[in-house]
Structure 1
């Protein structure tokens, strides 16, 4: 009963008798905590990863959230950070040193790639990118100095998957730590720890919060690994989630299961419509039978949520822009996981000074399906196609 989703989302970690039997946990908005005795003070300092001394380390409101996210990912512990990229950087930098090597799958989240390409080389750490759809590609990239295998399954543009079970086995054989960005699936649709992955990372800004009003990140793993990250990255770098933001994410978690399922079911209808339209060359969605890795998706995922991409049947950037501009309901934005439906045309990221071009087709448009009705979204797509490709409508 205590490992059920309903219990985790609604009750785990919430000791209501300690705060006036309030239904919702209070925001403990304090920087500092006091002690009644010398011995209490000394014991707390000796166990700072489990004590409330200073909110840079632990805060009661944040701790409730940590317990819930860890339980959702079926791990022993979790840490909360001020952003998803902060969580990723904290996890990676805790477990590497100068001279080490990282194997990372192709096309990871852009700021993960910035960490690997711009930050780590300054400290003598090298990175090799591989097509993670093939285990042999990963194995060929491993060196004696390899310390981390970094996964993103599915990734958030073309949704390439890795076989998590086989990746974990390979990493253990070579004594390599495995990390995965699980933001795409959320804990509702995938639990990488079930397959032996060491650390599970999240941009909690997406589905976990779900209201587009908090930026946050999480690292989930064993007590031992989390303690190492706490001592190195949390306490030293101070990239923490505040109690007010933690309270908002707790609010968001109440409806996590409902929101993710709603988005998934609506997406299935929208994808079916798009696949039938002559202006669409193809749809990339792991939960669609036409997806190249559909069988693997069914094997290690329970669903795919609301994020997918289409490839329009034109590489004319003006036409692509015209189609996107014609949409009224879908908003131009990065991120996903909120109530609002979004589009990210990757050609909008081309030729920007100081920014590398994305490694995806020019005619790829990423969609996120929020909580609107399917018919409402399809009508908007229909009128945009008619305005842009009248001969095909």
Structure 2
């Protein structure tokens, strides 16, 4: 786990914070912004990162810089795997015709470039473009494989690659993307490319360990999973790559070990906040925005962070939730409002409020880590704007 411990890690595993289940916890000192993590702040006159404008500019700039490198790399794949990858990135339809699809928000490559700029200025940002593309390729390798393992049928508002091309083609395309990412760094003449490649390889191993832990936890009974276990798994699956992205940007800026470690810690904590909010959206998100059916995580009986917090709350609703999760979800139950009922039970047991408060805590820790490496708030602004963006989502 990360260096700093929150109240979550200090209390008994699986027990949400004290307080009335289902009621929001007061804000934690040191939160990045006022308000509840995962919800938009509405205040007249807000400007800058709070309304997402700075993050939007950074993400747009990242796409402009990274997409040509990314597209060229994908185009270099053999035809059978290239067509799967081009479809997955949203650049082609299943029949191979061009598509103006959504290749994702580019959060991870934006973190690489923002970290490089924070410590080395514009020149370092430009030098880190290939590294940023490598991180985005790794991210998409994990998505291809995760969709197969989780049997997810929709991503970015279109059918997942395995549902179109089959399991084998989706897995092999993911394997090819992993090798492609390391080749991007191996061919990069920048002196930071070698340590960056080693760090990215270590990150892939951690990602795989996190995915293994995730699948193992899903096999257990609902009351046999602790909150600390799920937090550790989430750090490996989500926090590790965001931390790696920030650390790679620092390497390309010529930063020292302490600065690289601090930016890694920043990304990991922001990644945990990201996952907490993503889990909230997985239960209560709007399908028109998420591209996934409402309550898909509940239907799959996923032991997401809000669910595990609710299961360990000691409330009457926790027992009810354990009973619901103890039996498989049946499609015919959808008409009876089974998913809506389960979501309400999680909320009444305090799972939603806990996750939002924990996300705010994690962001506070992320800011602490960032200040160690980039004490100048202006220089750190891009990284803070991106962290704010990923933890203020509400769809």
Structure 1 or 2: larger helix share?
Answer: 2
- Computing the radius of gyration from Cα coordinates, the structure with the larger value is 1
Higher relative contact order (CA 8 A, sep 6+): 2
- Sort the TM-score into its range (normalised by shorter chain): under 0.3
* TM-score normalised by length of structure 1: 0.26
Structure 1 or 2: larger strand share?
Answer: 1
